[in-house]
């Protein structure tokens, strides 16, 4: 009996040993321990509400990924799905700037984490700030011909930009754009605000307050009008103003159509020419009626006052060119009885007088009512209006009128 029990115990112990060795074989040969990396596991950020409360913004990386290497039995590793691996980074308590935040990995109980790469996430946090910017108006296109924009009113004139410090500090300008193509009447409209960096690119992920503005712009009429100089005073004795040349001679003006439609010219401020004796060029101001403006606000008009000396000169005229008018058709003139020349004395500005020749002078005798015989007839002279006749020598000549039948 005792022997049988001993044999039974021995068999049981032997069976257990065999089972243990079989289990060890299976575990080590059939289902061994192994490792496997899992790439591109997304990191979940915890306590993001803390960033909102602390007025912080996660700038980068917006999305972080790591590689997790798991260890365990082959059969257990094979059952792992990447979604079973939870990687977290807690954002609570970190200040503005760059921070090194550790990651925490959670995996199923039958496997372990052998490594995670990277173990830390380099985060950049920005404070949320607000800045005020002036709004600039940009226009595109051209108004209808004969029209131009007046002074624009943009309301409000400034905008508050709010967002992460990096993005707000990248703002170079704030603009609103208005199209003027073929516009011919006043504009009142709402336009969106655009926030641009120094490369003219839109800055996004910021808030604008307000996001739109109200634009009021009058559309004015335009026209070109000449400039007339206004003078006072008298030149020095013996001198004369020949003309006043304006540069430019005309200007474009703008204003309400009902105001500018009756404007035919503009005048300058009064130019004082008292005792002037030589040509000079002076700056002038253009007198603008109320409600009228120059298109070119930078215009600097000049007036050139041309002054010349007044001189006298004797001009000898050949009587062969003397004209007789109102001579009876039955009469003729004995031209042999005429003097060869007459002399006229003229006065005027030097350039006009020196340029004058006998071809510029018309002189004649009026023979109305005269019969045949000898007659003393006055000489008439016609000159350019800028030339003054001082005297004629002789003032009269003896003219012999003959009947044609007696010749």
Q: Confidence class of residue 145 from pLDDT cuts 50, 70 and 90? A: very high
Judged against a pLDDT cut of 80, whether residue 13 lies above it is answered with no
220-228 mean pLDDT: 96
Q: At residue 405, does pLDDT exceed 80?
A: no
Q: In this predicted structure, what is the pLDDT of residue 407?
A: 66
Mean pLDDT of all residues belonging to the chain: 92
pLDDT at 344: 96
**pLDDT band (50, 70, 90) for residue 398:** very high
Owner of token pair 């624009």: 152
- Whole-number pLDDT of residue 325: 96
Q: Greater confidence, 244 or 28?
A: 244
Q: How confident is the model at residue 15 (pLDDT cuts 50, 70, 90)?
A: low
Confidence (pLDDT) at 126? 96
Q: What is the mean pLDDT of residues 91-106?
A: 96
Q: What is the mean pLDDT of residues 188-192?
A: 97
Euclidean distance between CA atoms 309 and 350, whole angstroms: 6
Residue 31: pLDDT band (50, 70, 90) is confident
Enumerate residues 6+ apart whose C-beta is below 8 A from 320.
335
pLDDT band for position 1 (50/70/90)?
A: very low
Range name among 30-44, 169-183, 258-272 with the lowest pLDDT average:
30-44
Contacts of 250 (CB under 8 A, 6+ apart): 224, 225, 226, 227
3-state secondary structure the chain: CHHHHHHHHHHHHHHHHHHHHHHHHHHHHHCCEEEEEEEEEEEEEECHHHHHHCCEEEEECCCCEEEEEEEEEHHHHHCCCHHHCEEEEECCCCCCEEEEEECEEECCCCCEEEEEECCEEEEEEEEEEEEEEEEEEEEECCCCCCEEECCCEEECCEEEEEEEHHHHHCCCEEEEEEECCCCCCCEEEEEECEEECCCCCECCCCEEECCEEEEEECEEEEEEEEEEEEEECCCCCCEEEEEEEEECCEEEEEECHHHHCCCCCEEEEEEECCCCCCCEEEECCECCCCCEEECCCCCCCEEEEEEEEEEEEEEEEEHHHCEEECCCCCEEECHHHCCCEEEEEEEEEHHHHHHCCHHHCEEEEECCCCCCEEEEEECEEECCCCCEEEEEECCEEEEEEEEHHHC
């Amino acid at each position: 009996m005792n022997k049988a029990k001993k044999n039974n115990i021995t068999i049981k112990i032997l069976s257990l040993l065999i089972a243990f060795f079989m289990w060890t074989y299976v575990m080590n040969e059939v289902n061994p321990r192994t490792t496997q990396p899992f790439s591109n596991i997304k990191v979940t950020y915890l306590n993001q509400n803390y960033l909102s409360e602390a007025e912080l913004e996660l700038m980068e990386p917006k999305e972080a990924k790591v590689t997790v290497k798991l260890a365990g039995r082959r059969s257990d590793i094979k059952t792992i799905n990447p979604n079973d691996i939870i990687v977290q980074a807690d954002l609570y308590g970190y200040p503005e700037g760059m921070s090194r935040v550790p990651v925490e990995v959670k995996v199923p109980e039958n496997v372990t984490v052998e490594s995670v790469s990277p173990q830390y996430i380099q985060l950049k946090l920005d404070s949320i700030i607000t800045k005020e910017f002036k709004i600039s108006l940009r226009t595109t296109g051209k108004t209808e011909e004969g029209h131009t924009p007046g002074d624009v009113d943009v309301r409000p004139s400034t905008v508050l930009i709010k967002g992460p410090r990096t993005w707000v500090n990248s703002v170079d300008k704030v603009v609103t754009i208005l199209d003027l193509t073929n516009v011919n009447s006043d504009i009142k409209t709402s336009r969106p605000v655009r926030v641009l960096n120094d490369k003219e690119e839109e800055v996004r992920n910021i808030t604008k307050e307000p996001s739109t503005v109200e634009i009021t712009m009058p559309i004015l009429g335009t026209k070109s009008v000449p400039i007339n100089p206004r003078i006072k005073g008298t030149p020095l004795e013996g001198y004369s103003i020949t003309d006043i040349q304006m540069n430019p001679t005309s200007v474009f003006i703008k204003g309400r159509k009902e105001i500018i439609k009756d404007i035919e010219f503009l005048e300058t401020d009064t130019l004082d020419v008292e005792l002037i004796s030589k040509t000079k060029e002076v700056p002038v101001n253009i007198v603008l009626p109320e409600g009228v403006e120059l298109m070119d606000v930078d215009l600097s008009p000049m007036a050139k006052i041309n002054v010349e000396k007044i001189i006298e000169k004797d001009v000898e005229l050949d009587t062969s060119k003397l004209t007789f008018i109102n001579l009876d058709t039955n009469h003729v003139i004995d031209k042999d009885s005429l003097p060869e020349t007459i002399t006229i004395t003229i006065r005027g500005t030097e350039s006009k007088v020196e340029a004058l020749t006998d071809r510029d002078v018309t002189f004649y005798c009026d023979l109305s009512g005269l019969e045949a015989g000898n007659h003393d007839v006055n000489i008439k002279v016609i000159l350019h209006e800028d030339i003054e006749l001082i005297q004629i020598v002789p003032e009269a000549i003896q003219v012999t009128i003959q009947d044609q039948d007696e010749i």
